[in-house]
């Protein structure tokens, strides 16, 4: 097995092969991003001894730090994610760029894109991360990058106005400092968590609020510091195995589900079929918008008694209403398709199953294969009549709305 320090020729070969794949699949679309990702040696920014096959796997992040509890706190993002986020950011020579969430690798790409006339500042709250980033950037010829240890929820001293703010950690909210330090014609790219779903969103300022230009499915280690946010976990009473996860507060009182698992499980098949590899990002967002009690469900398989039977025990799209909860499942439908179904438990299980089925069928008719919803970010003091959108999510520093583009 070849590691990241043993063969520069093999590293170059694997890097070019990876970039070819990302370009051919449409994750990299511009010659500028392609050029910098071919130029910067990714193996020099990953931990020593990391196998080249792992370094240049298009879909895999490389962990660089974990907490004492084994939780990932810093990583070099997957090349596929780095590629499409750089495309979203539209970085040009001479620009001023702020990167939030450091590590060195992405800052090197940004330094190449802005050129000698531009500037890059990379910020992280963890001094171990910034120390590592500063060392790696200097060793690889990128000492023009300014490395700052700070909580990026606050304004960054000496930055001025940024043409691009690129966030490389998962954010639940948009701190005011980000919009205050963004050039009025600038670009904010951030992995934003909404109702438990994370999208890398490219925002521009529009009449006092942020409005999305594109959104890509992604996953990131969560932000630390003042804007850190923990999801709420509801363990369904009567079982130790079923956990419902809510990102923006519980829509019901926890005790309402106390007797849900004592009722027979309703199983409904919807007639909605999809290809096994068909993207379902719009389905996830459709349910998040239309179902007031939207959440995700996980199952502790070691404690499973069979009360629920999810297709994916770690992550199922789900919803709650009053004294009932429901989740989506799939079953084979021919050689290459699967059919969606709904399992529901509780006194009003059939009603909730019907609502979830109707929403799923609406997606198949109205949203499937179409554009992503428009995401708008308003100040926290914005009134309802100032906000356009089908679903409004209240955060600490902002109000975020989701709505579908006009047909």
* Residue 109 · residue 36 · CB < 8 Å: yes
Average confidence (pLDDT) over 193-203 = 94
The most confident of the ranges 248-252, 257-261, 327-331 is 327-331
pLDDT tens digits for 287-303? Answer: 999 999 999 999 999 99
pLDDT of residue 342: 98
Q: How far apart are CA 162 and CA 180, in angstroms?
A: 9
pLDDT of residue 69: 53
Active-site positions? 77
pLDDT of residue 2: 45
Asked whether residue 324 carries a pLDDT value surpassing 90, the answer given is yes
The most confident of the ranges 26-40, 47-61, 65-79 is 26-40
- For the CA atoms of 294, 371, 84, 122, the dihedral, rounded to the nearest 10 degrees, stands at -60
**pLDDT band at residue 64 using 50, 70 and 90 as cut-offs:** low
* Residue 342 · residue 319 · CB < 8 Å: no
The most confident of the ranges 89-93, 254-258, 332-336 is 89-93
pLDDT tens digits for 347-379? Answer: 999 999 999 999 999 999 999 989 999 999 999
End-to-end CA distance of the chain: 52
pLDDT of residue 87: 98
Would you call 51 exposed, middle or buried from its count of C-beta atoms within 10 A (0-12, 13-18, 19+)? middle
* Residue 398 · residue 379 · CB < 8 Å: yes
Mean pLDDT (the chain) is: 91
Angle between helices 8-24 and 79-89 (to 10 degrees): 60
């Amino acid at each position: 097995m070849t590691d990241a320090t043993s063969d520069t020729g093999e590293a170059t070969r694997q890097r070019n092969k990876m970039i070819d794949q990302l370009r051919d699949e449409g994750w990299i679309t511009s010659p500028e991003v392609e050029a910098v990702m071919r130029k910067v040696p990714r193996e020099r920014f990953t931990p020593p001894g990391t196998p080249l096959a792992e370094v240049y796997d298009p879909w895999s992040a490389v962990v660089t730090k974990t907490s004492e509890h084994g939780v990932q706190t810093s990583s070099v993002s997957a090349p596929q994610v780095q590629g499409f986020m750089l495309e979203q950011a539209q970085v040009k020579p001479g620009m001023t760029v702020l990167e939030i969430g450091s590590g060195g690798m992405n800052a090197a790409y940004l330094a190449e894109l802005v050129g000698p006339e531009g500037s890059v500042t990379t910020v992280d709250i963890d001094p171990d991360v910034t120390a590592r980033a500063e060392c790696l950037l200097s060793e690889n010829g990128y000492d023009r990058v300014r490395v700052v240890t700070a909580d990026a929820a606050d304004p960054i001293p000496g930055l001025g106005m940024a043409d691009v703010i690129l966030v490389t950690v998962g954010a639940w909210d948009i701190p005011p400092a980000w919009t205050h330090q963004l050039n009025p014609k600038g670009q904010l790219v951030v992995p934003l968590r909404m109702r438990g779903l994370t999208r890398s969103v490219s925002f521009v300022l529009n009449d006092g609020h942020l409005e999305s230009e594109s959104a890509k499915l992604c996953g990131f280690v969560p932000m630390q510091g003042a804007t850190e946010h923990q999801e709420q976990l509801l363990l369904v009473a009567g079982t130790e195995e079923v956990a419902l996860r809510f990102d923006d507060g519980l829509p019901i009182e926890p005790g309402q589900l106390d007797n849900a698992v004592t009722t027979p499980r309703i199983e409904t098949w919807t007639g909605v079929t999809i290809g096994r590899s068909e993207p379902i990002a719009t389905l996830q967002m459709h349910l998040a918008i239309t179902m007031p009690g939207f959440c995700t469900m996980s199952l502790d398989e070691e404690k499973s008694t069979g009360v629920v039977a999810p297709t994916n025990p770690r992550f199922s799209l789900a919803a709650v209403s009053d004294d009932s909860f429901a989740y989506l499942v799939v079953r084979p439908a021919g050689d290459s398709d699967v059919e969606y179904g709904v399992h529901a438990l509780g006194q009003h299980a059939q009603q909730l199953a019907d609502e979830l089925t109707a929403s799923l069928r609406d997606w198949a008719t109205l949203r499937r294969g179409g554009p992503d919803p428009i995401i708008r970010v308003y100040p926290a003091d914005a009134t309802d009549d100032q906000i356009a959108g089908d679903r409004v999510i209240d955060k600490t520093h902002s109000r975020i709305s989701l709505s579908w583009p006009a047909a």
